[in-house]
């Protein structure tokens, strides 16, 4: 594996391109129904390097450089990763955009990041231009419809003349700005450095056990979106540093899963909890053992399905914990694994863990509390994100006491194993997407007929959790028409997956003396609010 210590990304990639030149780097499976590369494609390290060098030269020639940020909306195409490498070579920060964002959400990202340029596919350009019209310092919009990776696009010159950074590019320079759902409303921009991203890939590639990564020996299939840290950074750099191959399907497809796994000769795969029951519900057939998979990596599998899945399909699933703010993952990858539990792995040198109460006091083993993490006592923030953009107070609050507060409730046993219990933060986890309840509440509260609203997670058999809005209306209406109106209101403002899948009309919401809603007391412990007469199921309307 290529050493990452004291390197910037361009140096690591240059070494990889020289060492692994002919190896496949980025593979797109074939799909006759797709709008691009219907026959699939393979880009090796040598050709990727040529594209990156040409793109970096063009960007530099027209005036982009260290200190600029570029927002990129290219979905799961390989060019989004190649442009990331080109940006990194010049010290430009990569800010990927969720293609499901509405114009107002894109506008917030562009305003907050102060992006100099937006690179977007043709089908998103109207939405992007609508977003740029909402902000004061509008970036240049560039339409790019890549056909192959032979040559990069011609970049327009910056029009805002933002100053370049008057300092050298170092491993601590910003490489990416990834937006994650905040607990108090708008997403927060996580600043990730060159060193952070390389360390994230190196840690992922060196976990060992059932997650052993062979140099030049892995082809890893990942249907997760490239604007997330999982596919866009953790796996990407893990592949780059070891001369391996990343397989880029457009998204998870139940019908195409096994055919793409076989076609691409995948040896590893990434999953979300929702993928596993879908595959388990498929009819049995020879395809489920006709593959080269050695391992799967993911989070959120129902423990009762873990063992049966491994027995049926013939390879282990390794449950992990990770987050955008921390480059090191926990992984239950060494035998004996705890597959009948929600085990996430044990602390390792370089990733220390404590379980604490509300006052940040460590709790006894076996007692649930919030998981806090750090690198070490001497260097607590080594290998962590650089901070939240424009939010220094939020950054310091997250790091209070010298430990990063994850917001996840866990327990730890006497062997050090960490077990996931729940999310402490006001976050809903739907099919791998983190949704801030506060953001949905703000959207609904703006509706003329909403007097008060509380948004909570509700269990969902297919997608782990779904968004449920508990609404007090101004005129006491509680019918299907109003429920649909509230859904439509959110659906036009927020990404489709954030809209409420359930709307429940209530007469009151329990509150504290300071009028804070007690969400855990809205319904009884044994009550399923989905079965209430006032509950309206809108899940079928949640479409891209």
- The 10s digit of each residue's pLDDT in 480-504 is 899 999 999 999 999 999 999 999 9
| CATH code (residue 71) | 3.40.50.12780
User: Both 340 and 453 in a single domain?
Assistant: no
pLDDT at 38: 93
Q: Do residues 340 and 456 share a domain?
A: no
Rounded (5°) CA angle 315-316-321: 145
Question: What pLDDT was estimated at residue 199?
Answer: 95
Question: Do the domain assignments include residue 335?
Answer: yes
Whether 403 is in a domain gets the answer no
Instruction: Kindly state whether residues 332 and 445 are assigned to the same domain.
Output: no
The residue out of 280, 313, 345 marking a domain boundary is 345
pLDDT value at residue 525: 80
Predicted local confidence at residue 160, as pLDDT: 74
* CATH number of 457's domain: 3.30.300.30
Task: Looking at the structure, tell me whether residues 148 and 250 fall in a common domain.
Answer: yes
- Compute the 3-state secondary structure of the chain and give helix, strand, coil in percent, each to the nearest 5: 30, 25, 45
131: CB partners within 8 A, 6+ apart: 103, 104, 106, 107, 110
Residue 113: domain span? 9-153+172-345
Domain membership of residue 25 (yes or no) is yes
Burial state string for 158-195 with b = 16 or more CB within 10 A and e = fewer than 16: beeebeeeeeebebebbbbbbbbbbbebbbbbbbbbbb
Among 293, 316, 345, the domain-final residue is 345
- Name the nearest CA neighbour of 266 among 22, 29, 19, 46: 29
Q: Are residues 274 and 126 in the same domain?
A: yes
What is the Cα–Cα distance from 483 to 488, expressed in whole angstroms?
9
Three-class DSSP category at 116: coil
Per-residue pLDDT, 335: 95
Are 335 and 468 found together in one domain? no
Other Cβ atoms within 10 Å of 477 Cβ, number: 13
Omega before residue 336 within 30° of 0, cis: yes
Which residue(s) pair with 296 in the sheet? 269, 317
Q: Of the candidates 315, 345, 375, which is a domain's last residue?
A: 345
Structure confidence at residue 516 (pLDDT): 65
87 and 207 within one domain? yes
Residue 4 falls inside a structural domain: no
This prediction's pTM: 0.85
Same domain, 221 and 91: yes
448 in the same domain as 332: no
pLDDT on residue 50: 97
The answer to whether position 415 is within a domain reads no
Q: Specify whether the CB–CB gap between 248 and 201 falls below 8 A.
A: no
- What distance in Å separates the CA atoms of residue 98 and residue 396, rounded to the nearest whole number? 27
pLDDT of residue 235: 97
Q: Which pLDDT tens digits describe the chain residue by residue (544 residues)?
A: 998 888 999 999 999 999 999 999 999 999 999 888 999 999 999 999 999 999 999 999 999 999 999 999 999 999 999 999 999 999 999 999 999 999 999 999 999 999 999 999 999 999 999 999 999 889 999 999 997 777 899 999 988 766 787 889 999 999 999 998 755 568 899 999 999 999 999 999 999 999 999 999 999 999 999 999 999 999 999 999 999 999 999 989 989 999 999 999 999 999 988 788 889 888 898 888 999 999 999 998 888 889 999 999 999 999 999 999 998 999 999 999 999 999 999 999 999 999 999 999 999 999 989 999 999 999 999 999 999 999 999 999 999 999 999 988 899 999 999 998 876 667 788 887 878 787 888 889 889 888 888 899 998 988 889 999 999 898 777 788 999 999 999 999 999 999 999 999 998 888 755 456 778 789 988 889 999 988 999 999 998 8
What is the per-residue pLDDT for 42? 96
Tally of domains within the chain: 2
CA–CA distance, 242 with 217 (Å, rounded to integer):
9
CA distance 166 to 66: 8
Pairing of the two strands 245-247 and 24-28:
parallel
User: In this predicted structure, what is the pLDDT of residue 477?
Assistant: 76
Find the largest Cα–Cα distance for the chain.
69
């Amino acid at each position: 594996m290529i050493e990452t210590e004291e390197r910037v990304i361009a140096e690591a990639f240059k070494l990889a391109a020289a060492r692994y030149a002919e190896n496949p780097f980025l593979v797109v499976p074939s799909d006759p129904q797709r709008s691009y590369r219907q026959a699939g494609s393979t880009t090796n390290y040598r050709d990727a390097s040529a594209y990156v060098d040409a793109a970096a030269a063009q960007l530099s020639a027209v005036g982009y450089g260290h200190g600029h940020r570029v927002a990129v909306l290219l979905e799961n195409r390989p060019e989004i990763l190649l442009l990331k490498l080109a940006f990194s070579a010049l010290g430009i920060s990569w800010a990927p955009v969720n293609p499901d964002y509405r114009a107002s959400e894109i506008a917030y990202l562009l305003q907050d990041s102060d992006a100099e340029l937006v690179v977007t596919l043709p089908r998103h350009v109207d939405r992007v231009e609508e977003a740029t019209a909402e902000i004061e310092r509008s970036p240049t919009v560039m339409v790019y419809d890549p056909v192959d990776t032979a040559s990069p696009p011609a970049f327009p010159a910056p029009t805002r003349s933002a100053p370049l950074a008057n300092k050298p590019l170092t491993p601590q320079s910003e490489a990416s700005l990834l937006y994650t759902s905040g607990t108090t409303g708008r997403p927060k921009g996580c600043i990730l450095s060159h060193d952070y991203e390389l360390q994230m890939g190196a840690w992922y590639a060196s976990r060992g056990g059932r997650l052993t990564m062979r140099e030049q020996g892995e082809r890893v299939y990942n249907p997760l979106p490239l604007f997330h840290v999982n596919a866009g950074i953790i796996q990407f750099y893990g592949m780059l540093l070891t001369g391996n191959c990343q397989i880029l399907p457009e998204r998870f497809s139940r019908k195409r899963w096994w055919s793409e796994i076989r076609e691409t000769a995948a040896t590893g795969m990434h999953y979300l909890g929702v993928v596993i029951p879908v595959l388990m519900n498929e009819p049995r057939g020879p395809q489920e053992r006709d593959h080269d998979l050695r391992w799967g990596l993911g989070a959120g599998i129902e423990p009762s399905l873990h063992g049966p899945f491994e027995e049926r399909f013939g390879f282990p699933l390794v449950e992990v914990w990770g987050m955008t703010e921390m480059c090191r993952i926990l992984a239950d990858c060494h035998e004996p694994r705890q597959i009948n539990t929600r085990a996430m792995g044990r602390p390792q040198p370089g990733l220390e863990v404590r379980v604490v109460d509300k006052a940040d006091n460590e709790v006894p083993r076996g007692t649930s509390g919030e998981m806090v993490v750090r690198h070490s006592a001497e260097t607590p923030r080594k290998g962590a994100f650089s901070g939240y953009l424009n939010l220094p107070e939020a950054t310091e609050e997250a790091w209070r006491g010298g430990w990063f507060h994850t917001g996840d409730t866990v327990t730890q046993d006497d062997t050090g194993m960490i077990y996931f219990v729940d999310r402490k933060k006001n976050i809903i986890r739907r099919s791998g997407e983190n949704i801030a309840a506060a953001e949905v509440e703000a959207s609904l509260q703006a509706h003329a007929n909403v007097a008060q609203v509380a948004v909570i997670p509700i269990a969902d058999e297919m997608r782990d959790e779904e968004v449920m809005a508990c609404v007090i209306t101004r005129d006491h209406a509680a019918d299907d028409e109003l429920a649909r109106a509230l859904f439509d209101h959110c659906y036009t403002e927020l990404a489709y997956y954030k809209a409420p899948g359930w709307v429940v009309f209530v007469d009151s919401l329990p509150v504290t003396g300071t009028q804070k809603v007690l969400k855990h007391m809205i319904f009884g412990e044994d009550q399923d609010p989905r079965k209430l007469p006032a509950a309206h199921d809108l899940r079928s309307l949640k479409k891209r």
